[in-house]
Amino acid sequence: MPVFDSRSFKNHEQVVFCSDEATGLKAIIAVHSTALGPATGGTRFWDYAAVHRKVAPIDVAESRGEQDAVYDVLRLSRGMSYKNAMAGLRLGGGKSVIIGNSKELGTAELMRAFGRQINRLGGSYYGAEDVGTSPAMLAAAGETTDYVCGLEGGDYGTGDPSPHTALGVFTGIQAAVKHKLGKDQLTGVKVAVQGVGNVGRTLVKYLLDAGALVSITDIVDANIEATKALGTVDVVSLDGIHALDVDVFAPCALGGGLNPNTIPEIKASIIAGAANNQLEREGVEDEELRKCGILYAPDYVINAGGIISVESEVYREKPDNSARREKVLRIGETLSKIFATSDKEGRPTGIIANEMAEDIIRSANEVKLAAAAE
């Protein structure tokens, strides 16, 4: 797979491949931009080859899995740059992936080895929680580096960022419903939530409390049972939730779910969820959604609550819960501006958001270069 010519690689400052034979660590750290501050983004622990093992020999499956990991970390790190810029944070964009099954490989020893790899970057990248990792795992990495955040305890620890992510998505759904449906309340609004892990489940609680009618699905039965305990929800099949006759489809699992196969089946008039990289091909699927009359809330804008919650930790500032909440609630205002611009210019919301983020990063880079030249 070509890397330097890839749209996902665009303007990356650094990509590092890491390994540790003793623990089985195989990881990639991608630093997209440090224009606004240290590149900060989650550490995803995922078995990228798993889906390929079902249809290909082991060596082919592993090779394809590694290609998927490279593609994923590049898209995610660039998305973090855009996310942090649009959230008005003092953070650049980066991401890391650890390749493998976290339940089998995610030992404290491996996370400490990963921490040593982060430490070699000297503070240009800060890791945080993501799919497959937890505050406890990041704490293990924190034993060998200071450059992790989202930790629990201590003077600067901000803990699990998922509640803030869920609040941001809920606020974004409110803004989208207001813009598209003209409703100030969510009472009676039908929402399909795909994935009810920590973020999706908390989002469901917000939605139920607001009077929404909620359908859910998840690959993990325990997540479904925990969500059912929150109130009345309709449990549907994994492969059918995107096609439900609802007002809002909220993807809160992995990315790539908005593609040529699923978009024609979507009946919702709004897509607003926590998953990263929801569009299989940016600039293509979001244009198709616009043509279909579907309002798309750009994923990295609506799901910024988690990174907002850990910004203070990067700068060794004591967390201010009211200030964090205030910043998260601004996500709705930012989305409303994107929606309005999209309507005015007749262009996809995803492209509008990208251009806004790129302008912010470009201006910061110019200031940084000018200061270095003095």
One-letter amino acid at 262 equals T
CB 362 within 8 A of CB 355: no
Is 322 buried (19+), middle (13-18) or exposed (0-12) by CB count in 10 A? exposed
Give CA–CA dist 278/282, Å, rounded. Answer: 9
Give CA–CA dist 209/173, Å, rounded. Answer: 14
- What are the backbone dihedrals phi and psi of residue 189, each rounded to the nearest 5 degrees, phi first? -70, 130
C-alpha distance from residue 305 to each of 58, 240, 330, 354 (Å): 39, 28, 10, 18
Q: Is residue 95 among the annotated active site residues?
A: yes
Give CA–CA dist 68/65, Å, rounded. Answer: 5
C-alpha distance from residue 37 to each of 40, 81, 111, 239, 284 (Å): 8, 10, 24, 40, 31
Strand pairing of 92-99 and 270-271? unpaired
The residue from 10, 26, 95, 178 that is catalytic is: 95
C-alpha distance from residue 107 to each of 26, 100, 330 (Å): 13, 12, 38
Give CA–CA dist 14/2, Å, rounded. Answer: 16
Torsion of CA 250, 256, 261, 267, to 10 degrees: 10
C-alpha distance from residue 373 to each of 35, 365, 367, 370 (Å): 15, 12, 10, 5
Which are the contacts of 344, defined by CB distance < 8 A and separation ≥ 6?
Answer: none
Is 373 buried (19+), middle (13-18) or exposed (0-12) by CB count in 10 A? exposed
The residues assigned a catalytic role are 95
